[in-house]
């Protein structure tokens, strides 16, 4: 899990709309420009019904992000899609690395 200082708060989202810059079958990734780099994972009940599944995908995404991310002034918001909780970690890591590579 990421430390609290690296995660979004409600105040970070207010009045700002992240722009999606990466789409795949597994997840969408949006970016915001903030003074410090932060991350969020927004998972709706419509996408994953059980709270256990929503929390699992959040932990998996934050785990990959903590290993892969490089410091920038862009903050990221991850939007997992249906079926993203059943994919292997290696595929999730590939998608996130591909998204960060398109950014740089």
Condensed to tens digits (0 to 9), the pLDDT of residues 45-91 reads 998 899 999 999 999 999 999 888 887 888 889 999 988 888 999 99
Residue 99 has a pLDDT of: 87
Residue 104 has a pLDDT of: 62
Residue 4 has a pLDDT of: 84
Cβ atoms 56, 85 nearer than 8 A: yes
Residue for token digits 């862009």?
Answer: 74
Is the pLDDT score of 41 beyond 70? Answer: yes
Task: Please give the residue that has the higher pLDDT: either 64 or 12.
Answer: 64
User: What is the spatial distance between Cα 70 and Cα 86, in angstroms, rounded to a whole number?
Assistant: 27
User: What is the spatial distance between Cα 30 and Cα 75, in angstroms, rounded to a whole number?
Assistant: 8
Residue 35 has a pLDDT of: 80
User: What is the spatial distance between Cα 51 and Cα 25, in angstroms, rounded to a whole number?
Assistant: 21
pTM: 0.87
- Torsion angle defined by CA atoms of residues 58, 33, 6 and 66, in that order, rounded to the nearest 10 degrees: 60
Backbone angles phi, psi at 33, to 5 degrees: -95, 120
Is the pLDDT score of 12 beyond 80? Answer: no
């Amino acid at each position: 899990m990421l430390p609290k200082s690296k995660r979004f708060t409600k105040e970070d989202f207010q009045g700002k709309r992240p722009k999606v810059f990466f789409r795949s079958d597994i997840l969408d990734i949006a970016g915001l420009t903030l003074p410090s780099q932060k991350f969020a994972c927004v998972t709706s009940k419509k996408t994953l019904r059980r709270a256990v599944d929503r929390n699992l995908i959040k932990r998996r995404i934050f785990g990959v992000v903590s290993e892969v991310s490089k410091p920038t002034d862009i903050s990221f918001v991850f939007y997992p899609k249906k079926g993203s909780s059943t994919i292997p970690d290696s595929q999730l890591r590939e998608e996130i690395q591909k998204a960060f590579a398109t950014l740089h």
